[in-house]
Amino acid sequence: MPLFVIIGHDVTDSTAQRKITRPEHVARLKALQEQGRLVIAGPTPIEHNDANMSGSVVIAEFDSLEAAQTWCNDEPYLRDGVYSHVEIKPFIQALPTPTNNNK
């Protein structure tokens, strides 16, 4: 299954809403992990050791770009105004070498 990188871009002063919406956001990522489709996910702080975020990165398997877009359309951070927008791009994992035979 192809990989896609999803880059969510936070709005200014997203911290309060991010905290409110985070449990639902993380639950969706855990579902991808349980399905064996999540490679990596995490926030991008404005600076290290800073509670303020500039966005998030998710690398996961989806059947197609359209499937990744559909998944993003239901993203709680997008719905609740934490993200201003998301970018979705095809991704090829070069290193570390994937251990899953599907990649």
Over range 33-45, report the average pLDDT.
97
In a domain, 96, yes or no: no
Q: Where residue 56 sits, what CATH number does that domain have? A: 3.30.70.1060
Q: Which residue has the tokens 């991808």?
A: 32
* Model pLDDT for residues 12-31, shown as the tens digit of each residue: 999 999 999 999 999 999 99
Q: Is the residue at 103 inside a domain?
A: no
Prediction pTM value: 0.92
Q: Is 102 inside a domain boundary?
A: no
Q: What is the pLDDT of residue 103?
A: 46
> Residue 7: inside a domain, yes or no?
yes
Q: Is residue 51 part of a domain?
A: yes
Decide if 101 is inside a domain.
Answer: no
Q: Coil, strand or helix: which one is 42?
A: strand
Q: Which domain holds residue 66?
A: 3-91
Binned at pLDDT 50, 70 and 90, residue 88 comes out as: very high
Alpha-carbon gap, residue 11 to 90, rounded angstroms: 24
pLDDT score, position 100: 61
What is the tally of structural domains in the chain?
1
Beta bridge mates, 45? 53
What is the pLDDT at residue 84? Answer: 98
